[in-house]
Amino acid sequence: PLPSCECNSCYHGSDCSQFSSDCPADADSGDPLFLEPFWIKHAESGTMTVPGWHRMSYQFMYPQKSTLYSRELERHIRELHAMVGNANTTGKFMIFGAGSTQLLNAAIYALSPQDPPPITKIVASIPFYQLYKNQTDFFNSKSFKWGGDTSMWKHRSQSPEFNSTTNFIEFVTSPNNPDGKLKDHVLLESPDVKTIYDHAYYWPHYTAIPAPAKEDLMIFTLSKLTGHAGTRFGWALIKDEDVYKRFLDYMILSSLGVSRDCQLRSLKLLKVVLRNGKEFFEFGQKTTMTRWEKLNKTVSASKRFSLQKLVPQYSTYFRNITAPSPAYAWVKCEREEDEDCYEALLRDGGIIGRAGSTFHAENRYVRLSLIKSQDDFNWLLQRMDALVSQEQVHE
């Protein structure tokens, strides 16, 4: 057994097996471990062994740069979208990436006009996933810069910063991270506006699927689909051939494609999902829906906190009206004086979340992850219950 001084802060005892009740509930990261029980149940069919001699090659043949990608995996992804009904892949090119993180920046590169290079502003609607801005700032490109919230550019011809050589790329996250809402573009369609649809959460465990997505550039990730965030696999569906070619150039120059081992594992996992689709999505959706219901019940007794409003919707996948099942709770502190909801209330109450400012929203909002392990969720609920009960004692 480990000496107790080496236990992490949540456990104590000579073998670190005793849970400390002063441990905070960590609801920060979007690590989708809620799907782990499915993979434990399907341990055998999800297991892969790879001999040392297998797939050693770069597998890169000029001029067909697309040989970087497994056709077999591509075929299975198309089959999965058809089975779930969440995206129409007909006539679309496909590119793989190291998670959707790599593809998000590749997409900006592929959509930014080069000749002559006008400035492209990258925009998103608050609250938005912070990586869009962080990546744009980090790559510090000559041709694209962060442009802020879409509302600033909706009537752009009236803006003092606007000039006719400005182009726009709008990120649309649907369902949205952090608030789980289905979203559409805000900027009006025009030749100077391109849109990247981040559909990381457009799967039956997080949302009703009203119709197949069919936008010109869509990005998906294995991380939120199967829960294998560590495999680092995502894919983009692209309508335009020139945009696809620029995507390929980006992938070749930045990493010579995606690890073949990662493609093999992704294929193995997707085969299990395809074979057990009903069980997989029902398990995922039931878990997220139950967690959302429980948290709602607790928060509904509070005057200080509220949750985002989500409504039941018809899901073409389940062929039924489905209750909300978001990946995250977007908690709001209702009282005027609780401007810093996270620091002043939740963190003090032993809950670790992500402050609203991370999503460029007010700090009276906090994101809590509902997709971590069952233990993480149970502890979060207990902490939230305690906070709401305290409120009633003080009334």
Residue ranges in contact with ligand PMP by CB under 6 A:
30, 99-101, 129, 173, 177, 198, 200, 221, 223, 229, 234
Nearer to ligand PMP, 229 or 323 (CB): 229
Q: Cβ distance 181 to 308 under 8 Å?
A: yes
Matching residue, tokens 């039941």: 312
Q: Cβ distance 200 to 221 under 8 Å?
A: yes
Q: Least distance from C-beta 254 to ligand PMP, angstroms?
A: 14
Q: Is 239 exposed, middle or buried (0-12, 13-18, 19+ CB in 10 A)?
A: middle
Q: Least distance from C-beta 174 to ligand PMP, angstroms?
A: 9
Q: Least distance from C-beta 385 to ligand PMP, angstroms?
A: 27
Nearer to ligand PMP, 229 or 274 (CB): 229
Q: Least distance from C-beta 231 to ligand PMP, angstroms?
A: 9
**CA–CA dist 183, 207 (Å, integer):** 12
Q: Least distance from C-beta 207 to ligand PMP, angstroms?
A: 12
Which residue type is seen at 223?
Answer: S
Would you give the DSSP letter of residue 240? -
Nearer to ligand PMP, 217 or 387 (CB): 217
Closest CA to 205 of 383, 352, 42, 33: 33
Nearer to ligand PMP, 89 or 266 (CB): 266
Residue length, the chain? 395
Q: Least distance from C-beta 132 to ligand PMP, angstroms?
A: 9
**CA–CA dist 35, 229 (Å, integer):** 11
Would you give the DSSP letter of residue 358? G
> To which H or E segment does residue 281 belong?
helix 277-300
**CA–CA dist 259, 74 (Å, integer):** 15
Name the residue whose CB lies closest to ligand PMP: 99
* 116-152 burial code (b ≥16 CB/10 A, e <16): eebbbbbbbbebbbbbbbebbeeeebeebeebeebee
Nearer to ligand PMP, 12 or 181 (CB): 181
C-alpha dist (Å) from residue 379 to 21, 129, 384: 10, 25, 9
SS3 category, 179: coil
Nearer to ligand PMP, 179 or 340 (CB): 179
Nearer to ligand PMP, 180 or 350 (CB): 180
Q: Least distance from C-beta 105 to ligand PMP, angstroms?
A: 11
